[in-house]
Amino acid sequence: MEKEKLESVKALVRNIPDFPVPGIQFKDLTTAFKDARALNLMADAMEEIYKGRGVTKVVGIESRGFICGALLASRLGAGFVPIRKPGKLPADTISMSYEKEYGTDTIEIHSDAICSDDIVVLHDDLLATGGTMLAAYQLVKSMNPRAIYINFLCGLKGLNGRDVLPADVEVTTLFDFDGK
Ligand code: AMP
């Protein structure tokens, strides 16, 4: 997709200084999601990247990864699988814990959600440090799908989150912000 179109989506993202804690520049994507043209452009751009690649499941990370993750799944004719915080999924789960700046976090997926025939796109709204996506990748990788791709709507270049994700995995963003 032409860069200008994605730049027009990026321009709709609202920056909220010091949210949820001082020092964080929070990228509020709800202002892009509520714009019908922007929402459709994001779906078009993701579809362009992954169509024809045999994707069978899109895995979205709670909660902002559910919005465009489900849209992408629908565009590709694939299924949608949620990764959630502990205690939210009702059936048998497998989980992965990871270190955050302060303490640990855990994410879960239904243990029957992915099979060895699946080709998976892991999706979240934003790549910051990459810690959450790395844990999600390790969780899905342990279920032995045929392939895993990683997609974000946007990335914060200043945090170098790409570097914590495996070098041999294709990682895409639709647009990026320069700072942290
Ligand atoms: P991380 O594990 O650091 O890559 O970030 C985990 C999650 O926190 C991402 O999925 C984002 O949804 C959210 N997040 C982190 N930093 C920001 C930010 N500056 N603006 C908006 N969302 C953020």
CA distance 38 to 31: 9
Distance from Cα 126 to the centre of ligand 1, integer Å = 6
CA distance 131 to 101: 10
What is the average per-residue pLDDT within 143-170?
98
Choose among 160, 178, 154: nearest CA to 12: 154
The pLDDT value given to residue 101: 72
Distance from Cα 150 to the centre of ligand 1, integer Å = 15
The pLDDT value given to residue 27: 98
pLDDT tens by residue, 24-49 = 999 999 999 999 999 999 999 999 99
Question: Ligand 1 in contact with 129 (CB < 6 A)?
Answer: yes
Domain count, the chain: 1
Give the percent of the chain with pLDDT over 70: 100
Question: Ligand 1 in contact with 162 (CB < 6 A)?
Answer: no
Q: Please give the order of strands across the beta sheet that includes 79-83.
A: 79-83, 57-61, 119-127, 147-156, 171-177
With respect to residue 106, please indicate whether it lies within any of the assigned structural domains: yes
With respect to residue 124, please indicate whether it lies within any of the assigned structural domains: yes
The pLDDT value given to residue 75: 98
Read off the CATH number of the domain in which 166 is found.
3.40.50.2020
Residues 33/9, Cβ–Cβ less than 8 Å: no
CA distance 137 to 166: 9
With respect to residue 37, please indicate whether it lies within any of the assigned structural domains: no
Token representation of residue 171: 């990682």
pLDDT tens by residue, 77-128 = 999 999 999 999 999 999 999 998 778 999 999 999 999 999 999 999 999 9
With respect to residue 47, please indicate whether it lies within any of the assigned structural domains: no
Token representation of residue 150: 């990683």
With respect to residue 35, please indicate whether it lies within any of the assigned structural domains: no
Token representation of residue 178: 């320069």
pLDDT exceeds 90 at position 6: yes
Average confidence score pLDDT of the chain: 97
The pLDDT value given to residue 102: 74
Question: Ligand 1 in contact with 132 (CB < 6 A)?
Answer: yes
Token representation of residue 110: 């239904």
The pLDDT value given to residue 176: 98
With respect to residue 80, please indicate whether it lies within any of the assigned structural domains: yes
Residue 101: active-site member: yes
Q: Which domain holds residue 155?
A: 54-177
With respect to residue 48, please indicate whether it lies within any of the assigned structural domains: no
Residues 49/110, Cβ–Cβ less than 8 Å: no
pLDDT band at 159 (very low <50, low <70, confident <90, very high): very high
With respect to residue 33, please indicate whether it lies within any of the assigned structural domains: no
The pLDDT value given to residue 95: 98
